Structure 1
Amino acid sequence: MQNYLQEIETNTSKAGETVPLQRKAFNAGFSFSLLTFSEQLEIWDYIWTNTKVYRTEMFCLYFLEEHIRNKEEMFASWSTIKVWQDKINRWETSDSISKIYAQLVEYDAELILPTYKKWNTSRNPWHRRQSIVGLLYYSAHRKHYLPFQVLIDLVVPLISDNAYYVEKGVGWTLREIGNIYPKEQEEFLFENATKICAYGYSAGTEKWDKTKREKLKQIRKVGRVLNRKSSI
């Protein structure tokens, strides 16, 4: 296994720094590329677990992307790749694995959501972020959507979360929910105007018209004034 790790780390170091060059190097294949999916997954799992190189981690995620349309392979990978989340500590890998997880949610939400619910209450902000961003990733990529209430039930506990990565995730997710459930998302934002984090407000309303945004902004402003007075 160590030989495979060295192979990939050498490959990524020589490929060049840009994403297109890295993907080109990945697409060229490796000494183990003709093995079965399960055999390759075992190798990539070892690489993910043991590498300290960001670009090598991305190669692991490129491998999953290659197989993202194969339901059986994705189901078979879940018990392995859900553990990969424990190592996530940067935007690039977090968003890339969100793409994989969101596709799995679309395939079988009942399989994935119990893990998301655990992550939703984790002390790790990257877990909390993943529990919501991984629901949809980008709504335009989804063919089928979970009910609004299922989506929002995971967002609600995090709407006032002050961890930066989570706050950004709340905004991302509310924006994507708004793309598919605009009426329900609007009602939710008005009902929770004084609770929601700053980026949740700005990203969640970025596609609203100016008048509607200004109305919500004023509600938030009044709420902040009242909160200051009550704390005196």
Structure 2
Amino acid sequence: MTSIENIAYEIREFCLKNADKTIAEKHRRYFVEGYDPYGISQKAMNEEHKLLLLKYKPTFGFDDFLALGDLLMKSGKYEEASFALMFVTDFSREYQPATFERIGSWLDYGVRNWAHADMLAVSIFSKFLLKGIVPFTAFSDWRTAESKWKRRVVPVSLIKFVKKFGRTRELLDFLSPMMLYPEKVVHQGLGWFLREAWKLNPEPVETFLFQWKDSAPRLIFQYATEKMTADQKALFKRAK
């Protein structure tokens, strides 16, 4: 009888069979850290994902696929983690508050790059918020997590939420404790959120940026002010 371990083995065999060093090196330039690939085209991965889902979903439930994800995430291989995340998106109707923390644990030991962090944020965690399965305050402890990827997903996960529900000032207050973190990937996530929130509701975001302009990392402002005019950007230059 097929087990979760057998499915993980089948996925690894597929990855080894379809590995392409050319593809691996082509994509390597997008990743400064955390990239250990087989080198498989996205088309091939999408096709295999559909085949595996058709083959095993009638027998295995969401808890089984989460357990499979645990195994794949521990390998450190880029494509194996990608399969884990794709399977999670297939079960969005079964998300529960406990699922949020379960998947979140992958950021502590399995996620090693921005692509997987952002897929979790944009395609998975945002659904928990939009469906009201968890409140945005469920990210409270994540703001101070040891994993920089776990911290990055906090602002990125809130982008779709602010677009649908607003509550800009509340979210700015919520993110304020993160504004002095040193990691580049966290700066990028914060700046991305601030840019999108500014497009929807400029006034509170501009007030927030002005408050932080002389202390927070400049990369946050580079992203946050990307869509502003030159005159608007000038307002947020650091005082000499």
**Residue number in structure 1 paired with 2:95:** 74
Runs (5+) with no aligned partner, structure 2: 20-39
Please point out which of 7, 11, 31 is paired with 2:10. 7
> Is residue 108 of structure 2 the alignment partner of residue 86 of structure 1?
yes
Are the counterparts in 1 of residues 62 and 91 from structure 2 also a CA contact under 8 Å?
Answer: no
Please point out which of 146, 165, 180 is paired with 1:145. 165
Runs (5+) with no aligned partner, structure 1: 226-232
**Matching residue's letter, 1:59:** F
**Residue number in structure 2 paired with 1:135:** 158
Give the aligned length: 213
**Residue number in structure 1 paired with 2:88:** 64
**Matching residue's letter, 1:173:** F
**Matching residue's letter, 2:51:** A
Alignment of 1:66-215 (within 5 A): 66-68=90-92, 70=93, 73-75=94-96, 77-87=99-109, 88-99=111-122, 100-108=124-132, 111-136=134-159, 139=160, 144-215=164-235
**Matching residue's letter, 2:7:** Y
Are the counterparts in 2 of residues 125 and 165 from structure 1 also a CA contact under 8 Å?
Answer: yes
CA RMSD of aligned residues (A): 2.4
**Matching residue's letter, 1:60:** A
Q: Distance in 2 between matches of 1:115 and 1:10?
A: 37
Q: In proportion to residue count, which structure has more helix?
A: 1
Are the counterparts in 2 of residues 12 and 25 from structure 1 also a CA contact under 8 Å?
Answer: no
Are the counterparts in 2 of residues 148 and 181 from structure 1 also a CA contact under 8 Å?
Answer: yes
TM-score by length of 1: 0.80
Q: Distance in 1 between matches of 2:107 and 2:215?
A: 28
Task: Report SS of the residue matched to 2:187.
Answer: helix
Are the counterparts in 1 of residues 73 and 80 from structure 2 also a CA contact under 8 Å?
Answer: no
Q: Percent identity?
A: 21
The superposition leaves residues 146-169 of structure 1 with CA deviations (integer Å, 9 ceiling, x where unpaired) of: 511231123211222221111111
Q: Distance in 2 between matches of 1:2 and 1:50?
A: 13
Q: Distance in 2 between matches of 1:142 and 1:66?
A: 24
Please point out which of 51, 60, 76 is paired with 1:52. 76
Q: Distance in 2 between matches of 1:40 and 1:2?
A: 10
The superposition leaves residues 109-143 of structure 1 with CA deviations (integer Å, 9 ceiling, x where unpaired) of: 6x25444110112233222212222222xx4x876
Q: Evaluate the alpha carbon distance shift between residue 4 and residue 43 of structure 1 in structure 2; reply closer, same or farther with a 3 A threshold.
A: farther
Are the counterparts in 2 of residues 15 and 22 from structure 1 also a CA contact under 8 Å?
Answer: no
Q: Evaluate the alpha carbon distance shift between residue 128 and residue 149 of structure 1 in structure 2; reply closer, same or farther with a 3 A threshold.
A: same
